[in-house]
Amino acid sequence: MSMKHVSVLLLLLQMSCCFRFGICGKVLVWPMEYSHWMNLNIILEELVRRGHEVIVLRNSASIFLDPSKETGIKFENFSVSFTKDDLEDFFTQWVNKWTDLDKDSYWGYFPLMQEMFLEYSDSFENLCKEAVSNKKLMAKLQESKFDVLLSDAIGPCGELLAELLKIPFVYSLRFSPGHILEKYSGGLTLPPSYVPMILSDLSGKMKFMERVKNMLCMLYFDFWFQTFNENRWDRLYSEVLGRPVKFYELVGKADMWLIRSYWDLEFPRPTLPNIHFVGGLHCKPAQPLPKEMEDFVQSSGEEGVVVFSLGSMVSNMTEERANVIASALAQLPQKIFWRFDGQKPSSLGSNTRLYKWIPQNDLLGHPKTKAFITHGGTNGIYEAIYHGVPMVGIPLFADQPDNIVHMQAKGAAVRLDFNTMTSTDLLNALKTVIYNPSYKENAMRLSRIHHDQPTKPLDRAVFWIEYVMRHKGAKHLRVAAHDLTWYQYHSLDVIGFLLACVGTVVFIILECCLFSYKMFVKTGKKNKKE
Ligand SMILES: *[C@@H]1O[C@H](CO)[C@@H](O)[C@H](O)[C@H]1NC(C)=O
Ligand SMILES: *[C@@H]1O[C@H](CO)[C@@H](O)[C@H](O)[C@H]1NC(C)=O
């Protein structure tokens, strides 16, 4: 076959999606950083592989978006007034603050978290403002005729861009605090009697007092907590669109929500036709390890290995904590891969190796891996579920405590507190998950549940994005709840009407009785007289 033939064949293969589905779309992406980007990136690469054109809006301060990688994803750059270092400092400090919040004192925890979220909201608002006020960029986007916009619901601005460009949009989302976005903009129903609020630290099996806590948590998020500085966003969106709009209303126009969880991690609850659960979409079979790592794994013999990572956002810890961890690990017969980017702890055992980066998925998928020490980020949890590895959870912030609580309730994890745990605690927790077979069995059960789905999570995510492109939106999947006011939604007007009806009937009957009684008394008196 000549070179020409090969390239034509490649082109045909590339365009296969266009032939099969009749559309090769143009996808615009409003991205986020860190693990949120990694998740989105997986979907984008798959879209590119299927022949779609994917263009990501990349600000000049971006930390994680790497245009030098040959993925086929295109980047549309725009400059912002802050630098990459500013952004990195902001996120590092933000995460440190959240990590350091005292979770045992609700009175302190939630107000401080509120402050942090307003900070976060304002910084995102500034970024959004810089993007939409960039005339050159906006003109270019208008010209480009996109089919769909993809963004993370927790990093706003995507909905505004979609409105400006008059294109449908799809959200990817793990959670919003108190599920506010999913609930009030997405229309999702979350009965507090059996759906644990996110950030409540509760699992789906709640006793009475836990349900009380869940209800209080829900009321707090519904009526008090502000995930986004609503007034400022309302003002920005109204200014840009030239008419009064509400931020949450615009978010509610999303055609499709792709939620990054599933019934292996979460407890079952009601959902909607335009909300799809695609947890674990980044999971894939393990690839062979680099030789040095494979040799280290093999050197563990029968005992196997333990994988330890606290995620991409937390790179260092105090010397004291590092030593507590290192001395616990040193007492294990297993070999340990520790993703750690700090100074080498003095109590580090010869069985533990430090790595700046580890191929986490490949390690977790290795048959010799016995346990995973994790901060409980959704991505790591899903890799552990995918490969059926029991966990020791050391949650730090965000949804991590909730994720670990769920894994604990499902019998696949032991939970520790990062700031108070001792070496003995960590050692005992590790021995429990490694040597008590129930943990492995439960992890394997979750793995089987995860693998037994009609379509793979990534295929599902891509299917629904293509679906939105094919139908130019998915308004037909929206529940009519979006068009109702809050009292209509809760049928308060109907209840009021029915009560009024019943009241009227009762009133009429009472009046009739009274009337006939009076008549009866009157005629009785008359009869007596006669
Ligand atoms: C955006 O910047 C990256 C890296 O500097 C570059 O590779 C890419 O071509 C730029 N995109 C456009 C559309 O200019
Ligand atoms: C993490 O490292 C930075 C500098 O590398 C340092 O300023 C900071 O104090 C460290 N944090 C902890 C918790 O050790």
394 within 8 A of 416, measured Cβ to Cβ: yes
Average pLDDT value for the chain: 92
Summarised one tens digit per residue, pLDDT across range 235-293 is 999 999 999 999 999 999 999 999 999 999 999 999 999 999 999 999 999 999 999 99
Give the model's pLDDT for residue 397: 87
Give the model's pLDDT for residue 8: 58
Strands 53-59 and 26-30 turn out to be parallel
Average pLDDT over residues 216-235: 94
Give the model's pLDDT for residue 6: 60
Cα distances (angstroms) measured from residue 129 to each of 13, 135, 144, 253, 427: 40, 11, 21, 20, 50
257 within 8 A of 150, measured Cβ to Cβ: no
Ligand 1 midpoint to CA 68 (Å): 9
Which ligand ends up closest to the CA of 314?
Answer: 2
pLDDT at 313 over 90: no
Of all residues in the chain, the percent with pLDDT exceeding 90 is: 81
Summarised one tens digit per residue, pLDDT across range 161-219 is 999 999 999 999 999 999 999 999 999 999 999 999 998 889 988 999 999 999 999 99
Summarised one tens digit per residue, pLDDT across range 80-102 is 999 999 999 998 888 888 887 76
pLDDT at 105 over 80: no
Q: Quick one: which atom of ligand 1 is closest to the CA of 76? A: 13
Instruction: Please state, in angstroms and rounded to a whole number, the distance separating the CA atoms of residues 286 and 305.
Output: 15
Which ligand ends up closest to the CA of 319?
Answer: 2
Summarised one tens digit per residue, pLDDT across range 23-52 is 689 999 999 998 899 899 999 999 999 999
Give the model's pLDDT for residue 110: 81
CATH class of the structural domain 291-451: alpha beta
Instruction: Please state, in angstroms and rounded to a whole number, the distance separating the CA atoms of residues 154 and 114.
Output: 15
Instruction: Please state, in angstroms and rounded to a whole number, the distance separating the CA atoms of residues 369 and 373.
Output: 11
Three-state secondary structure call for residue 394: coil
**Sign of the C-alpha dihedral computed for residues 388, 390, 392 and 395 taken in this order:** positive
Query: Which residues form ligand 1's pocket by a CB distance below 6 Å?
Result: 67, 75-77
Give the model's pLDDT for residue 21: 54
As given in the structure block, the two tokens for residue 398 are 């965000």
Give the model's pLDDT for residue 18: 57
Q: Quick one: which atom of ligand 2 is closest to the CA of 315? A: 1
Q: Could you please report the per-residue DSSP string of 281-339?
A: TT--PPPPPPHHHHHHHHTTTTS-EEEEE--SS-----HHHHHHHHHHHHT-SSEEEEE
pLDDT at 322 over 60: yes
Give the model's pLDDT for residue 2: 60
pLDDT at 526 over 70: yes
CATH architecture assignment, domain 26-281+456-482: 3-Layer(aba) Sandwich (3.40)
Ligand 1 midpoint to CA 75 (Å): 6
Q: Assign 14 a pLDDT band (cuts: 50, 70, 90).
A: low
Planar angle of CA 147, 151, 153, nearest 5 degrees: 135
As given in the structure block, the two tokens for residue 479 are 């529940």
Summarised one tens digit per residue, pLDDT across range 412-437 is 999 999 989 999 999 999 999 999 99
Cα distances (angstroms) measured from residue 475 to each of 217, 256, 274, 314: 32, 9, 9, 40
Ligand 2 midpoint to CA 316 (Å): 6
Q: What is the pTM of this model?
A: 0.90
β-sheet bridge partners, residue 443: none
Ligand 2 pocket, residue 419 CB under 6 Å: no
Planar angle of CA 208, 214, 219, nearest 5 degrees: 130
Give the model's pLDDT for residue 198: 92
Instruction: Report which residue type is found at 373.
Output: I
Q: Could you please report the per-residue DSSP string of 222-277?
A: HHT--SS-HHHHHHHHHHHHTS---HHHHHTT-SEEEES--TTTSPP----TTEEE
CA-based nearest residue to 335, from 304, 374, 295: 304
169 within 8 A of 158, measured Cβ to Cβ: yes
Instruction: Report which residue type is found at 109.
Output: Y
- Residue 329's CB is within 10 A of a number of other CB atoms, namely 25
Instruction: Report which residue type is found at 503.
Output: G
Give the model's pLDDT for residue 222: 92
Of all residues in the chain, the percent with pLDDT exceeding 70 is: 93
As given in the structure block, the two tokens for residue 105 are 């004192």
Give the model's pLDDT for residue 282: 94
pLDDT at 10 over 90: no
